[in-house]
Chains A and B, each alone.
Chain A
Amino acid sequence: MYNFDIERPGTVADAVSALGREEAQPLSGGQTLIPTLKARLAAPSVLVSLSGIEELKGVRMEGGKLCIGGGTTHGRVAREAEAHYPGLASLAARIGDPAVRNRGTIGGSLANNDPSACYPAGALGSGATILTNSREIAADDYFQGMFSTALEEGEIVTEVRFPVPSAARYEKFIQPASRFPLVAAFVARFEDGVRVAITGASNNGVFRWPEAEVALSSSFTADALEGLTLSGDEMISDLHGSGQYRAHLCGVMTKRAVASLV
């Protein structure tokens, strides 16, 4: 790992100004960034730590939405969102392992947008809004492909607001070596329709599955998904599974999610 300075601001405003320094990058839980730095895949000269910023932490209900501070750990979401949005709390409770959940944060996960990460499916599947230090971005506009988001240089995810569905389930087919999903589906049932988001499968990162949403919105049963398929052509193909296999898993995970809710 190349060396760098670490700044530890106490407010978002100070963090934003520290990020104005040359080659500065935010550090949140470090559960993705530290391995990346060790592999010398990133070489920032300054890391701006968000871990000491209290205003970035917490879980609360406001205006019917579940609001989670960008610096809130997965472990805290698992505990504190349970009463408000159990489907999302259960997603957070299955990220990595307990020690990873005690450090890793929702803001870090959404900023990174790993094509196999869990939170992008939760955010897109819920139709969440991502708040930054300067604006609000709808999840539908935020995720822009593998490791790519609408965030600008130096922009910080400060909060994520989740509309709370009447029922939701995250089905994760685990890749046991990494503990990330191989493929996972997030299904959320709202009064006005169903949203389905898939992670781990596509070369373009997290995506919605419109045909499944239409089918489930008219009949919320696993049978409604019968015959619906996704093409394996645009899917990730690696030693853990071919694109065809992942495409198949999308259907299986979505069905399992629905079956667990009816």
Chain B
Amino acid sequence: MPQVKMTVNGKAASGEVEGRTLLVQFLREDQGLTGTHVGCDTSQCGACVVHVNGEAVKSCTMFAVEADGAEVATIEGQAAPDGTLNVIQQAFQDHHGLQCGFCTPGMVMSAAALLKDNPKPTEADVRHYLDGNICRCTGYHNIVKAIMAASGQDVGAIAAE
């Protein structure tokens, strides 16, 4: 069986996998990092979004072997070690950007990727970027608002709370 080694949230992670083992399976089942969710398993919903070498990818649609040697970042690495939420997570809490929370890990990781490339997005930029992240609860308004707030912009005038 192939051996894979990668860095996950700054720590070395390795294990034996099959060719068909998905990155999300390696993260959840081998590494016990169950913050990354599987909503659809068909590349539609984005609940499984993680970063591989700094880019957002759907971890249900990438083989673990393909991440050999890569830097992987998951939702577990977003807060500070003492549990203090990062600015995006805190904004989701402040603006009610989640209800059941199932989509939230993917939303936060997508938002982080967006803000890295586009630190001051417009509301339309945020909505367009979240094309691949589905939320069944919130109706998206507060997610968009949270991401706008996390980018340091005034959100008084946008989408209803």
Contact = CB atoms under 8 A, between A and B. Distances in A.
Interface of A: 1-6, 8, 27, 30-31, 34-35, 37-38, 47, 49, 51, 75, 96-100, 102-103, 179
Given A3-B20, A35-B42, A98 B132 contact: yes
A4 B19 contact: yes
- For chain A, what secondary structure do more than half of its interface residues adopt (helix, strand, loop), or is it mixed? mixed
Interface residues of B, number: 27
Contacts of A97: 46, 131-133
Contacts of A47: 19
- For chain B, what secondary structure do more than half of its interface residues adopt (helix, strand, loop), or is it mixed? mixed
Contacts, number: 71
Contacts of A51: 66
Given A103-B57, A103-B61, A179-B131, A6 B19 contact: yes
B113 interface: yes
A27 B65 CA distance: 12
B56 interface: yes
Contact of A98 (B43, B61, B131): B131
A6 B56 contact: no
Contacts of A98: 56, 110, 113-114, 129, 131-132
A31 B19 contact: no
Contacts of A102: 55-57
Nearest to B132: A97
A103 B62 contact: yes
Nearest to B113: A98
Contacts of A75: 55
